[in-house]
Structure 1
Amino acid sequence: MITESLMRSTAVLIFANSSQEEMRYKPLQRGEVLFDSLTNTVIQKVKQSKLTYFHISEKHQNGFSFGERFSNAVQNVFDKGFDKVITVGNDTPHLQTAHITTAAKALADGKTVIGPSLDGGFYLMGIHKADFNKEKFQSMPWQKCNLLKSLLDTLQETSCPIFQLPTFRDIDTVKDVLSLVNYIRSISVSIQKLFALCLSVKQQFLLLAEKCYVSVLLQNPYNKGSPVLVHIQ
């Protein structure tokens, strides 16, 4: 449960661009609809946490590099009077309200919170104002595979204990969409349908085959004989 004290001291920064801007770097078929839906979904999940939140898109970001824009956005929230900030994006469908409230409680216990991404970055960061150094954050290797390591190295200098959330995959390419279908049951049905729209006919065929394969395995959990063949006419 989020206490009144937490609500006064903690804010969530949703650092997510518009779907048009996302499509400049993540060219997915019908990606505009997908990213609009992902943004609306994460906003709803954040609202359910009861924490104050700020959605900062490219229209309100300041800086030339990604690191500058992100660091300035975090500093901007701190400047509004909050002592703790939780940052999230819009490209991690497995992020739930429970992860946000867990991060808020860990921050209240004096910890820094990290939600790692499989690509070497992070989908969530919870940090105290005293541990945030804007200049150091700007200079980290943003959007590179060693970002998480660099972030952890930087945080170790503050001697603040780190609380780590589960590792999730975010969406950058069609390959990420295909990989996420392995965990489709924990993603909302509406997002599942949008995933299908972003895939080509061939990719949809492979997805359908995989789902059928998993379904048959679940119905016959003790069959360890020949592999199951999926036949679609």
Structure 2
Amino acid sequence: MRSTAVLIFANSSKEEIRSKHLQRGEMLFDSLNNSVIRKVKQSKLTYFHISEKQQCGASFGERFTNALQSIFDKGFDKIIAIGNDTPHLQTAHIKTAAEALIKGNTVVDPSLDGGFYLVGIHKCDFNKEKFTKLPWQKITLLKSLLENLKENQSAVIQLPVFRDIDDMRDLLSLVGYIKTISISLQKLFAICIAVKQQFYVLQDNFYISQLSQNPYNKGSPVLVKN
């Protein structure tokens, strides 16, 4: 058998912004994709980038599980799976996961939303049917995955908890940890946040304008911010 491969399970920027609704987010996710590929290349591990063009399955769980299976089918016995939306992920984390796998451990690195931003798994611990049935994209995913691995008596190592980017709230939260993020990503964060703030200003100005024109309107407000 071959050894360890990295799965970059990440969609194109056009596909990402359809679900994450970040204004000017296409540039951001282009940069995040390029960044994670660069970090994986620096690890010197074989990697596969599987985007929506290669994914197959009706649900996220099916697509992710099928992607894992396709790499095991190539003869690798260990996989480190990551996405493109955790800017704090570094080459060192990938190397640490690879070393842990060599020692026989399984690696699960939690994200703040109840999922994970990295999983390192052995082929012998991978059950396609069980993986597909995990509560993907829900806050109980990490708990369910750990329970699944416990059933296999896998020795699990967890690295630091990071926040991934699912929406504007995540982007704003990451600003507080900006020192560990590249300058280029900082600039793209700023663009997305600025566009969102401009949208709120337009909302407020429009509402004030409508209110001044209809000072005695007792109905619903013209616009309500989420």
Question: TM-score scaled by structure 1?
Answer: 0.83
Measured after TM superposition, the shift of residue 201 of structure 1 is 5.9
Give me the identity figure in percent.
72
Tell me the equivalent position of 1:45.
Answer: 39
* Distance verdict in 2 for CA 1:10–1:196, change over 3 Å: same
- Higher alpha-carbon deviation: 46-55 or 193-202: 193-202
2:152 & 2:73 partners in 1: Cα distance? 20
Q: Secondary structure at the match of 1:83?
A: strand
Tell me the equivalent position of 2:207.
Answer: none
The one-letter code matched in structure 1 to 2:187 is: K
Measured after TM superposition, the shift of residue 26 of structure 1 is 0.3
Tell me the equivalent position of 1:154.
Answer: 148
1:202 & 1:68 partners in 2: Cα distance? 33
The answer as to 2:95 corresponding to 1:101 is yes
Moved over 6 A (4+): none
Alignment match of 1:184 (pick from 178, 189, 195): 178
The answer as to 2:22 corresponding to 1:28 is yes
Q: Secondary structure at the match of 1:55?
A: strand
The answer as to 2:72 corresponding to 1:78 is yes
2:146 & 2:154 partners in 1: Cα distance? 11
Kindly name which structure, 1 or 2, has the bigger radius of gyration based on alpha carbons: 2
Alignment match of 1:166 (pick from 153, 160, 169): 160
**Over aligned residue pairs, what C-alpha RMSD do you find?**
1.3
Tell me the equivalent position of 1:198.
Answer: 192
2:23 & 2:52 partners in 1: Cα distance? 22
Measured after TM superposition, the shift of residue 77 of structure 1 is 0.5
Measured after TM superposition, the shift of residue 33 of structure 1 is 0.4
The one-letter code matched in structure 2 to 1:29 is: Q
1:167 & 1:9 partners in 2: Cα distance? 27
1:116-153 Cα deviation digits (max 9, x unpaired): 00000000000000000011000111000110001001
Aligned residues: 198
* Distance verdict in 2 for CA 1:160–1:202, change over 3 Å: closer
The answer as to 2:50 corresponding to 1:56 is yes
Q: Are the aligned partners of 2:7 and 2:49 in contact in 1 as well (CA < 8 Å)?
A: yes
1:177-211 Cα deviation digits (max 9, x unpaired): 0000110000000000000010136759xxxxxxx
- The 5-angstrom pairing of residues 120-159 of structure 1 reads 120-159=114-153
1:70 & 1:20 partners in 2: Cα distance? 19
* Distance verdict in 2 for CA 1:101–1:80, change over 3 Å: same
1:139 & 1:116 partners in 2: Cα distance? 19
1:146 & 1:112 partners in 2: Cα distance? 19
Question: TM-score scaled by structure 2?
Answer: 0.86
Unpaired runs of at least 5, structure 1 = 205-233
The one-letter code matched in structure 2 to 1:49 is: S
